[in-house]
Amino acid sequence: MTENKTAHNKLSVKEKRTLRMKTLTKEERNYIRRRELCDKLWVIFRAVILCGLGFIIFYPLIYMISCTFRERADMSDPTVVWVPRRPTLSVLKETIEAMDFWNTLKNTVLLNVGCSLVQVLSCAVTGYGFARFSFKGKKLLFGIVILMILVPTQIISVPLYFQFRFFLGTDVNLIDTMWTMYLPAMTANGIRSGLMILIFRQFFRGLPRELEDAAYIDGCGPFMTFVRVMIPNAMSSFLTVFLFSIVWYWNDYYISSMYFNETKTIATTLCNIDNELKLRLFGDGNAKMNRREQTAWRQAGCLVSIAPLLIMYTFLQKYFTEGIERSGLVT
Amino acid sequence: MSRKKVSSGAAKRPRLSYERRKALYGYGFISLWLLGTIWFFLIPLGKSLIYSFNSVGIESGHMTMKWSGLDNYSAALNKDQYYVDHLEKTLLETLWRTPLILIFSLFIAVVLNQKFRGRTLARAVFFLPVIIATGPVFRVINDDMDATGTSSGQPQFSTLLHTDLVDELMHFLGVYDMSGRMTGFITAVADSVFGIVWSSGIQILLFLAALQNIPPSAREAAQIEGATSWEYFWKIVFPYVSPFVLANLIFTVIDSFTDPMNEVMRRILVFQTVDINYGLASAMAWLYFGIILAAIAVVTFIVNKFVYYEVD
């Protein structure tokens, strides 16, 4: 039955087409044919381009996976290109051990999620202040926000280090504590907070003013208005910025390697993975390793350190990609 | 908008005008940030500027400073054997990479904005670099690909992409002599395809968002008037996204300049952590920052002349 139906449909479409073509002049027919040809070529071209570039993006990931599950000896075997000869978990296990993965992961998550959460809140409050209130010096202050985006962290990192080392001019040493990350995050000065303030400002400017006016008339103070009216409206934007913030904190190794010696995060461990491997697997900082075998461990390290992000991305992909559109950065 | 409203509590308090009160609330909202910024941004910024004019030493855990004028700056420019080279290299690289990244990401955004099967998947794949490229994983990927020879990825990959292909194409076209420079150029481009694809995640995202803001009626009108896709792109799409070209441009420039992986930054890091010389490190960083600022100012000025703003 269904076959019949589709056949009929196909036929009728073709018939319609020929009928329509007959009514047209020769030039018009040529034009339509040319366009159809172009469209088809474009579809093929697009598929080729997307697949090719997709391959470029996936290439390192495939390589990581391939390296992780092979035996170390396979690294030096030229006949093994992609598929491991005897898939094992030994490299993966060694890497997890060398990175002290579970502890590090716990540390990182604690730091990451906490800082991101606090920073999103503080940046939202600041962004709201810049979006809805007019006060003296607003332009100048907003200029500072822009400056925060422009100034490379490397410029301020040394003085900042000393500020944490001798906190408030006293002998209190905050280096190697999580305060070094939490304090800036709390006061909207953490990683890429300038950008986040800008995003929130744009977002809140895009919301209708009537929302707040209604709340004011009902006798709600500005802060409660923000909490009760604006935050619920900005939920999806919050989530997007929060996710990006997690990614940025997760990937940061410059700032955390500056402040942390003992406290390890995934990113700093990965940067030091060669030393960690030597210390933990061979018990000797000067051990010589075969470069190729080392690559296997390194790639495994990469894989385990982005695995949590990849999992998060797979499930929350929608918020990453659609969030920016709704976040109001584009208005 | 500035109608006067009397909220219930205001009658008893000393009277402030509505504007004054709103301004105070504004300060209230940004006060947390302001405090943090003074402490974690402005003071360190000022200090590092001061460092750059001093010769800074560490004695028994405390810092000693001696005024040395512009010595650090001239040392960075004249004495350090790497700094100027790295600076030139980074600037040049940014100069040719930025336009390529922008063109590429606009193209991909236009493609990803079309309707086809598997579009969600394609988008997910192209945004994947966003979550990886800022981190150490990308550094390891790149290092492995640059340094370790046959066992690593990039050599295989770029061999596959260019060496033979370009030569053979040239031979096929009957060009034997001129291929030297040409091949060099094409090889360089092919090598950087990887870098470009991997650093345009956010840019694609922004362009895509901009593209979705184009009203569908514009497309309909263009179709009725018989515009080809090519004309549609240049006459309608491009003007609409042009403000985002500027935003993306600035983002790309900042991203590539402030990347801890770039060579100037690595050089600065050496003086911050290995050969401890904070004065010199600060001078280098400030010099570099000055160049970034100048570059961004020039670019903004030029691009702003060509940008089309719908609402003004």
- What chain B holds in terms of domains, given with CATH numbers, is 2-52 (no CATH), 71-306 (1.10.3720.10)
Nearest-neighbour CA in chain A from B68: distance (Å): 19
Higher-confidence residue of B15 and B231: namely B231
Nearest-neighbour CA in chain B from A40: distance (Å): 12
CB contact under 8 A, A158 and B136: no
ipTM: 0.79
Give the pLDDT confidence score for residue A115 in this predicted structure: 92
Other C-beta atoms within 10 Å of A35: how many? Answer: 12
Integer CA distances (angstroms), A268 to A180, A184, A237, A252, in order: 15, 19, 30, 8
Q: Which amino acid is at B43?
A: I
Average pLDDT value for residue range A314-321: 80
Helix pair angle (B18-37, A179-186), 10° resolution: 160
pLDDT, one tens digit per residue, over A123-158 is 999 999 998 888 888 889 999 998 888 888 888 888
Give the pLDDT confidence score for residue A125 in this predicted structure: 92
Residue B165 has pLDDT above 60, yes or no: no
Burial letters B58-90, b for 16+ CB under 10 A, else e? eeeeebeeeebeebbbebbeeebeebeebbeeb
Q: Which of residues 231-250 of B touch A (CB under 8 A)?
A: 244
Give the pLDDT confidence score for residue B152 in this predicted structure: 36
Angle A284-A289-A293 from CA coordinates, rounded to 5°: 135
Q: Which amino acid is at A328?
A: G
Residue A220 has pLDDT above 80, yes or no: yes
Give 3-state DSSP helix, strand, coil % of chain A, rounded to 5: 80, 0, 20
Nearest-neighbour CA in chain B from A105: distance (Å): 15
Nearest-neighbour CA in chain A from B22: distance (Å): 6
Mutate to test the interface with B, among A58, A251, A265 (most CBs of B within 10 A): A251
A320 touches chain B (CB under 8 A): yes
Q: What are phi and psi of A259, to 5 degrees?
A: -95, -20
- Residues A153, B258 contacting (CB under 8 angstroms): yes
Give the pLDDT confidence score for residue A286 in this predicted structure: 66
Higher-confidence residue of A158 and B58: namely A158
Nearest-neighbour CA in chain A from B290: distance (Å): 10
Give the pLDDT confidence score for residue B311 in this predicted structure: 52
Give the pLDDT confidence score for residue A258 in this predicted structure: 82
- Residues A162, A231 contacting (CB under 8 angstroms): no
Nearest-neighbour CA in chain B from A53: distance (Å): 7
CB contact under 8 A, A295 and B136: no
Q: Which amino acid is at B246?
A: L
Residue A259 has pLDDT above 80, yes or no: yes
Give the pLDDT confidence score for residue A222 in this predicted structure: 83
Residues of B in contact with A247 (CB under 8 A): 130-131, 134
Give first-to-last CA distance, chain A, whole Å. 51
- Residues A262, A176 contacting (CB under 8 angstroms): yes
pLDDT, one tens digit per residue, over B213-261 is 888 888 888 888 888 888 888 888 888 888 788 888 888 888 888 777 7
Other C-beta atoms within 10 Å of A1: how many? Answer: 4
Give the pLDDT confidence score for residue B5 in this predicted structure: 47
Residues of B in contact with A295 (CB under 8 A): 144, 148, 151-152
- What percent of chain A stands above pLDDT 90? 8
Residue B150 has pLDDT above 50, yes or no: no
Nearest to B197 among A57, A253, A302 (CB): A57
Higher-confidence residue of B164 and B91: namely B91
Average pLDDT value for residue range A80-91: 76
Residues of A in contact with B227 (CB under 8 A): none
Q: Which of residues 144-163 of A touch B (CB under 8 A)?
A: 144, 148-160, 162-163
Give the pLDDT confidence score for residue B157 in this predicted structure: 43
pLDDT, one tens digit per residue, over A21-74 is 777 788 888 888 888 898 899 899 999 989 888 888 888 888 888 888 887 777
Give the pLDDT confidence score for residue B168 in this predicted structure: 59
Residues of A in contact with B130 (CB under 8 A): 247, 320
Nearest of B244, B249, B201, B203 to residue B98 by alpha carbon: B249
d(CA A129, CA B23): 10
Q: Which of residues 37-66 of A touch B (CB under 8 A)?
A: 43, 46, 49-50, 53-54, 56-60, 63
CB contact under 8 A, A57 and B63: no
pLDDT, one tens digit per residue, over A86-129 is 778 888 888 888 888 888 899 889 889 999 999 999 999 999 99
pLDDT, one tens digit per residue, over B17-57 is 777 888 888 898 989 999 999 988 999 999 888 888 888 77
CB contact under 8 A, B124 and A132: no
Residues of B in contact with A150 (CB under 8 A): 254, 289, 292-293, 296
Average pLDDT value for residue range B167-177: 59
- Ranges of beta strands (E only) in chain A are none
